[in-house]
Structure 1
């Protein structure tokens, strides 16, 4: 089973690129972030024509997440991250595909930090850690896939000294990610490539992709019940180098179920 995550940075303007990638790689599950489209503008007909069922949570101009499943319909479990009924941002979906629970997330960026946006990021992170703990307790096979907007360690950033004041790399964000992992989750990409310089995001400015001046901020975490099934993980880096690309590249994990 191949589970992928891809921040598409606007599904309307990059639908062609998304469909091309789906046709080329045929992931069994694809978690999408930053749809930047209201609920009614999700391109369901095109996604279905590509062979995928889908659930999605749209939001006009911002945010938005979706779970696609090849040849089947994802069975929705949770829409929106539990813990704050007043939170209207579209950042979290949870579904069952086959026997695996799939959580798709778009964790807040948090900049500028400090400030209200950073406070929201940390509060959202705490709610996410609590939900992840609940999922571990079920004993189910679970993948937490998405754009975490967290640079876990210095080796996950080109010139990390430039990011020390950024919300993605501040100690509070990194500590929250570490506490999440400490609950028993496996960082699939790093477990598979323990010493490799590997990025999932390259800014549009200053030829960041050409210089490989990237960040690793898209992550797939596996629950204790699923971690033994890990066979490989990687980044479809070339997708970032295509015409009118997202600033993220699809990131994936192969599981032997």
Structure 2
């Protein structure tokens, strides 16, 4: 099974790019983030015409997550994480596809640091940590895929010294990610490419894509049962170079 994650940075504004990539890559399951569309504006008909069933949680102007499955409807199991009842952000969705639990997530950016947005990001990480432990206890194949908004190590950012006080690279955030991984998750791309500089995001400014001045902030974490099936992990970097593309590239 080919799994992918893609922060589309506006699903309707970049629908042509998404559909082009789906046709080219043909993933079996896709986690989408940053839909930037309310629930009723998700382009479900276009997605279905491309051969995919979908579940989604939209949000006007911001956030929003979805799971697509080729040739079938994902079985929705969860929307949102517990632990903060007043949190209305659309950042987590979960479904079962072919016996695999797929959690699609979009962690908060957290900038500026310090401040309430950074504090919210750390709380969200704590909530994810607690729920991730519950998922591991199921002892079934589980994948947590999406935009984590964290560069785990120096090799995941083009100029680490410039990012010391950014919320995507603060030591507290990297530590929160590490604590989740150490529960027993496998970072798919880093597991297969331990020393390679591979990025998933290039800013629109300062010619970042052409200079390959990127960040690795989109990740796949696999339970041991899912990791046993891992054979390949890569980034469709060329998609970032398409006209009107997201600032992220699909990975899987």
Q: What TM-score comes out, normalization by structure 2 length?
A: 0.99
Q: Secondary structure at the match of 2:209?
A: coil
Match of 1:124 in 2: 124
Is 1:39 equivalent to 2:4 in the alignment?
no
List runs of 5+ in structure 2 lacking aligned partners.
none
Instruction: Provide the rounded CA distance (Å) in 2 between the counterparts of 1:236 and 1:248.
Output: 10
Q: Distance in 2 between matches of 1:21 and 1:192?
A: 23
Distance 1:240 1:42 in 2: 22
Q: For 1:82-121, what aligned pairs fall within 5 Å after superposition?
A: 82-121=82-121
Runs of 4+ in structure 1 deviating by more than 2 angstroms, as ranges, are: none
Relative to its length, the structure with more strand (as a share) is: 1
Deviations, residues 91-122 of structure 1 (Å, cap 9, x unaligned):
00011001100000000000001100000000
The answer on 1:152 being equivalent to 2:152 is: yes
Counterpart of 1:195?
A: 195
Q: Secondary structure at the match of 1:229?
A: coil
Task: Report the 3-state secondary structure (helix = DSSP H, G, I; strand = E; otherwise coil) of the residue aligned with 2:95.
Answer: strand
Q: Secondary structure at the match of 2:12?
A: coil
Aligned counterparts, 1:1-257, within 5 A? 1-252=1-252
- The Cα of 1:166 is off from its aligned counterpart by 0.1
Q: In structure 1, the residue corresponding to 2:46 is in which secondary structure? A: helix
Structure 1 residue 4, shift from structure 2 partner: 0.2
Shift, 1:169, TM fit: 0.3
Deviations 1:225-245 (A, max 9, x none): 111110010000000001011
Q: Distance in 1 between matches of 2:147 and 2:69?
A: 18
CA distance in 2, matches of 1:238, 1:81: 33
Matches of 1:105 and 1:245 in 2, distance apart?
Answer: 20
Q: Unpaired segments of 5 or more residues in structure 1?
A: 253-257
Structure 2 SS opposite 1:62: coil
What TM-score results when the alignment is normalised by the length of structure 1? 0.97
In structure 1, what is the Cα distance between the partners aligned to 2:8 and 2:226? 26
Q: In the TM superposition, what whole-angstrom CA distance separates every residue of 1:212-233 from its partner, at most 9, and x where no partner exists? A: 0000000001001111110010
| DSSP 3-state at the match of 1:113 | coil
Equivalent residue pairs, number: 252
Task: State the distance in 2 between where 1:226 and 1:52 align.
Answer: 22
Distance between the aligned counterparts of 1:226 and 1:241, measured in 2? 31
User: What SS does structure 2 have at the residue aligned with 1:32?
Assistant: strand
The one-character-per-residue Cα deviations of 1:27-80 (angstroms, maximum 9, x if unpaired) are 000000000000000000000000000000000000000000000000011111
Q: How far apart are the structure 2 equivalents of 1:81 and 1:198?
A: 29
